[in-house]
Structure 1
Amino acid sequence: MSRSIKELSVHYNPINERNTFTSGDIVEGRVVLEVTKEIKVDSLFVKLTGDAHVSWTEGTGDDERSYRDYERYFKIKQYFIQESSKRGQSERNTTLLYGETYGPVIKPGSHVFPFRFQLPQQNMPPSFNGVLGWVNYILTVKLSRPWKPTSTTYTVLNFVVTNDGTNDHLLQPQSGTQEKKIKLFGSGQMSLTATTDKTGYMQGEMIRVFVDIDNSSSRDVKLKYSLKQQQIFFAEGSSNGAYTHIVKETRDLIPSGQKTKIIVDMIVPHDLTVTIENCRIIKVQYELKVSLGVSFASDPAVRFPVVILPPEQHCPPWRGPPGGFQSYPPPQPNLVPYPPGELPPPPAGLYDSTVLPHPGAAGVYPNPDAFQPGFHPAPSAQKSTLFTLYARCLRNLF
């Protein structure tokens, strides 16, 4: 920055304790420019942009190829000082806002330029920084002077997606069963039934899974469970990505001939990236897996898609574990038996919906049924009347 410019900064006013913004919110703030001597300015403006970008390289040497793609959601610009020859001119894909204008000569001292933007009312993905791409919402200030380098500064907004009352499906439990016959190194059959308390979970919330195991085989087995994140990036007809295990645990043995019922609790990290399904070039998805570890054989497993939400999108938990889930006597060491005398969540299916297009799409967000290959939702079943009433009550709270 030039010696004559002591400070060029941009500041916005937080609107909540978490310092987040969402569609339709007002972003107000100020640009501070402090100069040590008189300067002449061609233009001074602040802009607010929302963009997604992905890029990666595959191969080496002559076979190396780069992939990239870009998506712009909006660009809003407010000029404080603009060259007279360019005033009133439209800018491509830009919404211009006009407020108070200032002269082209800035006197020595500190000067404050207020601005006010409104985020578009459209379906945009949340802020995200991933292994091969990002989604950013940025306030940028640019100061242009004759015969001088352009001075630039910026600050990043944390954009989140909020509940619009269409996410009733996230309250639905999910249930699945897997059975396995032992034919090698043993005999008999084992079965695993897993039921989640719901589908959508906030950052920092607990995922609770009710597990019923019947090991009527001659083999000992172990209960295993995991929560996996998958990031997928799309560009130029190709895709790339990575997955990370957020939780991966193995529990105690379930001996041969043993029946047991277990509650599995997993805490969603407070800083875990939320589900992203409404971006054309970036997807972030989660899979919950419960399985039985069987030596020298494939593991029977139940898999569920899970939607991770910001704290503003609270999904109340199901109030009780599956009914009739009295502990099989005796309970296993270090395993948590179900509390007696409480009713079960009825099995519920997933939803028939599609990935939302972008931008400006309407409909359900996030869409937990929009999973990539390898993410297998449980078979769907009809929603219960109880959950329909429950969801309506919840919608009235938002």
Structure 2
Amino acid sequence: MPAIQSLTMTFDALNDFGTVSEGDTLTGKVTLALSKQTTVESFFVKAKGDADVRWTKKNGDHTHTYSAHTRYFKLKQFLIPENSKETVVPQGIHVYSFSIQIPPGSMPSSFRGSHGKIVYKLEAKLCRSWRMDHTVEKEINFVSNSFPNLQSLMSHQVGSTNKEMGFFSKGNAHMDVTVDRRAYAPGETITIVAKIHNTSTSEMTPKFSLIRDVIYRAHGNTKTENTVIHKVAGDCIKTKTQKHVKCAMKIPRDLLQTIQNCDIISVEYHLKVYLDISFAFDPEIIFPVVMFPPVMAAHFYPAGAIGGPSNSDFPPPAVATGPYPGGAFGGPSNSDFPPPAVAMGPYPGGAIGGQSNGNFPPPPVAMGPYPTSPHSGTYGQPGVQNYSAPPPAYPAHTSGDYNNPVPMASPYGSPFSSSSSSSVLHPPPTAPTFHTPPCAPDINPPPYPPPLNVSPTAPSYNMLPSAPMMNSDFLSQSDEAPPAYSLLFPPSAAEKSDAK
């Protein structure tokens, strides 16, 4: 009786489509059933992604084989420690969990064609000494999210062509074609509008074809396959007539998505619109088409969204009209539920200074970037510590090695003082206009003004008498000579004694 009864593996689905993309984490379980105690050499789960192409070409009696291989990633997680070469696993059923993250970066989607494939898979392998390895595999449906500038592919495509008739007909045929966009998901509908002006003597039929091109590459050689996915023919256009033709082409749901990020396999689509004219070359217009996976349809302006035609079976996502969300103040309400409390302006609903639009009292709102209390977190939320310190009451202006919060005028000094430690005022040689200190009484201009009365609480200063207040501008009186310098600044007693 074999020791290993069964080895199975399952992994969790990440979405309704059962797909995996770049950066996703795969989680699952591996179940090992043993009929008796078994010694295991290694037991692991491996995830890998590979692309392969191969085709042959016969040239006379020789047959050439072209092949290429690309590996995107290979990851391994050990279910039994790697260093333990001989691990004894007891009899019974053992369930092992695993978690493997797909690497980020651009990788192509899963693909299987006649000459190549792109396959992603999970593999669990149990190795024993002198025994056959037990392996179980699960293929992953990998869907790439690498579609750069996909939103720019949602605009209209426009093309035109003109055909001059040849030997069997006269005149010309002109056609203008508009396609609603460039990117589609499987299951959507391509809307085509053609304006045809037939001024020739021949009848013509407009036709529309969706074509897939698969290109295999190996060492500079290519192999191409062209497949017509869907074809629609319009009504015949008589001679000397003008007609508008509209075509709605349904895309099959099982259509492969576009692959442009693989170096050995490419899958591309194009739409061909042409006029079928007997005994003449058919004028045609080619439009490129991109097929993205249905799982991404809700993220990029699918058909049915506001501003686009409704031509899909997928429900449209909630799209805001203008700069306001649905149901917000100033925007249309498209819900059966009452709108949420929306702040009017830069304040939250019910905040101080903002408009209250609820039936409940407003919550405590922090004034500024600090919590409402020392024991609350940021914006008054409990359990959140705020480490930002409040700013000072005034901006600090640094001057030298000192901080002067606000420069204030001293009632005992003068802004003309040249040193902070000097107690004597040195007036300038000219007579400027002096302003009376706020604490000094009004002084009339006698010939010799009295000394300044200093407040008893102020420190004592040896100060010169203040200059008299000039009620008029004496420099503008040209008839009188200016007063003498000794009259404005009389000498002190010490200077008189020195003069003697």
Using structure 2 for the length normalisation, give the TM-score. 0.58
C-alpha contact 1:209 1:264 (8 A) present in aligned 2 = yes
2:464 matched residue in structure 1: none
Tell me, yes or no, if the aligned pair for 2:166 and 2:280 is still in contact at 8 Å. Answer: no
One-letter amino acid matched to 2:22: S
Matches within 5 A, 1:59-208: 59=58, 62-82=61-81, 84=83, 104-162=87-145, 166-208=149-191
Task: From 258, 267, 271, give the equivalent of 1:284.
Answer: 267
Between the aligned partners of 2:169 and 2:267, the Cα distance in structure 1 is 41
Kept in 1, the 8 Å contact 2:41–2:84? The answer is no
Contact 1:163 1:313 in 2 (8 A): no
Shift of 1:85: 7.0
Aligned partners of 2:17 and 2:295 also within 8 Å: no
Which whole-Å CA distance do the structure 2 matches of 1:67 and 1:41 have between them?
A: 41
- Using the alignment, how far apart are the partners of 1:28 and 1:144 within structure 2? 22
Query: Is residue 2:34 matched to residue 1:51?
Result: no
Alignment of 1:284-323 (within 5 A): 284-314=267-297, 315-317=301-303, 319=307
CA 1:55–1:165: 2 relative to 1, 3 Å: closer
The CA deviation at 1:249 is 2.6
3-state SS of paired residue (2:199): strand
Structure 2 distance, partners of 1:77, 1:313, is: 29
In the alignment, does 2:16 pair up with 1:17? yes
> Aligned partners of 1:258, 1:181: CA distance in 2, in Å?
16
1:256 corresponds in structure 2 to 239
Instruction: Identify the residue that residue 420 of structure 2 maps to in structure 1.
Output: none
Q: Which residue of 2 aligns with 1:40?
A: 39
* Preserved contact between residue 132 and residue 241 of structure 1 (Cα < 8 Å): no
Amino acid in structure 2 at the alignment position of 1:20: T
Q: Cα distance, 1:164 vs. partner? A: 6.8
Cα pair distance change 1:7/1:238, threshold 3 Å: same
Would you say the 8 A contact 2:182–2:288 is kept in 1?
yes
1:41 offset after TM fit, Å? Answer: 0.9
Residue 25 of structure 2: aligned partner: 26
Counterparts of 1:3 and 1:134, CA distance in 2: 36
Report how far residue 241 of structure 1 moved. 2.3
The Cα shift of 1:83 comes to 5.6
CA contact (8 A) 2:106 2:146 kept: no
Q: Give the aligned residue type for 1:56.
A: W
For 1:187, the aligned partner's letter is K
Q: Map of 1:316-355 to 2, 5 A cutoff?
A: 316-317=302-303, 319=307
Cα-Cα RMSD = 2.3
Q: Is the 8 A contact 1:162 1:312 kept in 2?
A: no
1:312 aligned counterpart, secondary structure: helix
Unpaired segments of 5 or more residues in structure 1?
Answer: 87-102, 322-389, 394-398
Determine which structure has the larger strand proportion and give its number.
1
1:189, distance to aligned residue in structure 2 (A) = 1.1
The CA distance in 2 between the partners of 1:208 and 1:51, in whole Å, is 37
3-state SS of the aligned residue for 2:152?
helix
How big is the shift at 1:258?
Answer: 1.6
- Aligned residue type for 2:150: N
Per-residue deviation, residues 338-391 of structure 1 (Å, max 9, x unmatched): xxxxxxxxxxxxxxxxxxxxxxxxxxxxxxxxxxxxxxxxxxxxxxxxxxxx9x
Alignment partners' CA distance in 2, 1:320 and 1:187 = 41
Identity rate, percent: 37
Q: Counterparts of 1:60 and 1:113 in 2: how far apart (Å)? A: 54
Q: C-alpha distance in 2, partners of 1:165/1:287? A: 18
Q: What secondary structure does 2:184 align onto?
A: strand
Q: After superposition, where does 1:233-252 map in structure 2 within 5 Å?
A: 233-252=216-235
Amino acid at match of 1:51: D
Worse-matched range after superposition: 52-61 or 251-260: 52-61
Matched position secondary structure for 2:153: helix
1:145-192 Cα offsets, whole Å, 9 max, x none, are: 111111111001111123777322211211111111123222111111
For the residue of structure 1 that corresponds to 2:46, the secondary structure is strand
CA distance in 1, matches of 2:141, 2:21: 9
Measure, in 2, the Cα distance between the counterparts of 1:46 and 1:163: 27
3-state SS of the aligned residue for 1:149? coil
Deviation at 1:320, TM superposition (A): 7.1
Q: In 2, Cα distance between the equivalents of 1:61 and 1:9?
A: 50
Higher Rg of the two aligned structures: 2
Aligned length, in residue pairs: 307
Choose 158-167 or 71-80, whichever is displaced more.
158-167
CA–CA distance in 2 between the matches of 1:119 and 1:253? Answer: 53
Unaligned runs of 5+ in 2: 310-321, 326-500
CA gap of 1:164–1:240, structure 2 versus 1, over 3 A, is closer
Q: Is the Cα–Cα contact under 8 Å of residues 173 and 197 in structure 1 kept in the other structure?
A: yes
**C-alpha deviation, 1:55, in angstroms:** 1.0
In 2 relative to 1, CA 72–293 (structure 1 residues): closer, same or farther, beyond 3 Å?
Answer: same
Query: 1:170 aligns to what SS in structure 2?
Result: helix
Shift of 1:14: 0.5
Matched residue, 1:332: none
Which residue of the partner structure matches residue 426 of structure 2? none
For the pair 1:211 / 2:194, whether they are aligned, the reply is yes
Alpha-carbon distance in 2 for matches of 1:157, 1:73: 14
Q: Distance in 2 between matches of 1:61 and 1:113?
A: 56
The residue number in structure 2 matching 1:367 is none
Question: Match of 1:81, as an amino acid?
Answer: I
